[in-house]
Chains A and B, each alone.
Chain A
Amino acid sequence: MNASDIKQLFSALAERFEKEKEQLGDLDAVLGDGDHGVSMANGFSKANEAVKESDVEDVGQLFQNAGRALMSGIGGASGPLFAMVLLELGKSTSNQSDLTLNSFREGITNAAAAVQRLGKAKRGDKTMLDVLLPVGEALQSVSDLEDGLEQAAKVSKNAAEKTADLAAKKGRAQYVQGGGLGHPDPGATSLSIFFETFHQVYKAKASA
C-alpha cells in the first residue's frame, strides 16, 4: 500500500466510524459514559483531514500526521491510546513509500507495548489490548501483507467479541457491576473496526 492507498484508508476509516457512531456509543453507555462513538468519529475525521490533501510520499509520515491529529483531537483515554497505534505504525514505516508486512508487524507489536505502558493494562483486563496482543501474535506467522491484513481483521473481530467474557479491570468499565460481563469492550470493538477497514481497503485496491 502506497501513500495514496493510506490516504484512502483514512478516508474509509473516517466514513466507517461516522457510520458506527451510534452503535459504539450505545455499547459505551453500558460500560462508560456513552461518548466513545462520537470520540472515534471525531478523531478519525480529524486524522483524515490531516492527511487527505497531503502530497507526501512517505507512508510513515502520513501515519504520524494522522496519529498526531487524532491525539490532539479527542483526548480522554481512547485518544492517546489509538494515537499510539498510528504513531507506532508511523515509526515502523518511516521513510517507506510502501507498507510492507515487516513494518506493519513491527508497528503493531510496538503499539501493543506502548499501549500497555501508557494504559498500564494487562491482557484480560477488557481493553483494546485484548485485541492488539492477539493480532500482534497472529502476524508472527503470516507470509505476506495480504495474509497479514486478513488475519488481523479476522483475529481482531474474534478477540473483540470475546472481550464480552471478560470483567473490566481498567477505565470506567471496571466500576460497572460485574465489570461489564456480557458486553464487548468499546475500545476493543473500535480497534477491530480499524483492522477490518484496513483489510477492506487493501482488498479493494488489489481487485481494482
Chain B
Amino acid sequence: MKKILNPDSIVDDMIDGYVAAYGDYVAKAKNPRVVTRATPKVEGKVGIVIGNGCGHEPIAMGWVGQGMLDANAVGDIFAAPPADLILEAIREADNGAGVLLLISRHAGDVINGEMAVELARMERLNVEPLLMYDDISSAPKGKEEDRRGAAGTTFIYKIVGAKAEEGATLSELKTLGERVRDNTRTLAAAVAPGISPLTGKPMFTLPEDEIYLGMGVHGEPGLKSIKMTTAKDIVSEMMDALLEDLPFKSGDEVLTFVNGMGSTTLMELLIIHKEVDGILKKRGIKAFKPLAGEYITTQEMAGFSISLCRADDELKRLWDAPVSVPFFHR
C-alpha cells in the first residue's frame, strides 16, 4: 500500500485537516468525531444528521453546511459509528425543532442508528430515523426495503436539506425523504478495487478484463461479472435495468447522478453521462439539472454508479435550491 498517512491516527488527522482547511464552513464538536456547521444554529430549524463509516470522502462530512447536513458522526474506516457517537451528533444538531437521522441501509448503520434513536428518545429528544435504500442490485423488485443505500441517497441529502432550511417540520421532512427514496433507483459497476487503509489490501479481486455489475459502496460484489466493454454497451445494460425497476416512463422528469467511486476519471464520468442522457432522450424522459462527479467514493476504487430520481416540481425546485457546503457543486 502506498498511502500518505499516519497509520495510528488516520480518521482524526483527516477531520483535523478538513476543519483546518474549511473552517469557514465546518467545525469540530465537543466530541472530535462529530463535524458540525461552523455557522450559528438557526432557531427552530430541524437538524439533519447522518453517521457513517469514513473512507467514502467527500461524503458525508463534505456535505455539512447550509442546505444539507447539520452534523455528521464520523465512524472508523468503513465501519458505522457507534450509537453513542451518533447520539452526540443528534444532540449537536438539535435546536428545539427535532432531528432527522438519515440512515443508509447497511447492517452496522441500521443497528447503531436505531440504537442512537432509542438513546436520544430516552433523553426526550425529538428524533426520527429515515432509512435510505436505492441499490436495485441488492434485493429484487418488490423487496425495496431490503435494498442497501447507495449513491442515490444524494437526492435525499440535498432535497431534504433544502426543505429543512425553509422551516419544514420533522414529520414533513421525513415524508419528503421517503418520497424521494421511493422514486430513486441506483445501479453501480466496478472496474477495480480500492485498497483499505486499515489492512493495506485490495477490497476484492476482479480479473483485468471484467467488470462487476451491482457492486456496493464497500466493494461488496454484485449481480454478475461481465466482460469489459464500451461505455455505450455497459450503460445501455444498466439503464435497461434501472428504467424497468421503478419503472421510469416516457414523459417523466428525472434527476440524474453519475457518481465516480474514487479513481474513475471525469472524462469517463462525462462519457457515461452522455450515454445516460442519450438513452433518456430516446425513451422520452427529461433529465433535470444532472450531476456528475466523484462524491461517494471507496478509496481508489474504479467504477461508477447511475442514479435516477423521478421528480415533480417540488423535488426539482429543492434539488436546484442554493447550497453552500465544501464538496457539493452542481
Contact = CB atoms under 8 A, between A and B. Distances in A.
Interface of A: 25, 29, 32-35, 38-39, 71-81, 118-119, 170-172, 175-177
A77 B85 contact: no
B231 interface: no
B199 interface: yes
A76 B53 contact: yes
Interface of B: 53, 75-85, 106-108, 111-112, 114-115, 137-138, 148, 196, 198-199, 201, 203-204, 214, 216, 218-222
A75 B108 CA distance: 7
B198 A35 contact: yes
A34 B80 contact: no
Contacts of A73: 82
Contact of A177 (B81, B138, B219, B221): B221
Nearest to A70: B82
Contact of A35 (B77, B111, B114): B77
A80 B112 contact: yes
A119 B107 contact: yes
Contacts of B80: 75-77
A83 to B, nearest CB: 9
Contacts of A175: 137-138, 148, 214, 216, 220-222
A176 B220 contact: yes
B111 A39 contact: no
Nearest to B137: A175
A39 to B, nearest CB: 6
Given A118-B111, A172-B107, A75 B79 contact: yes
A34 B77 CA distance: 11
Contacts of B218: 32-33, 172
A131 B78 CA distance: 25
A35 B85 contact: no
B79 A39 contact: yes
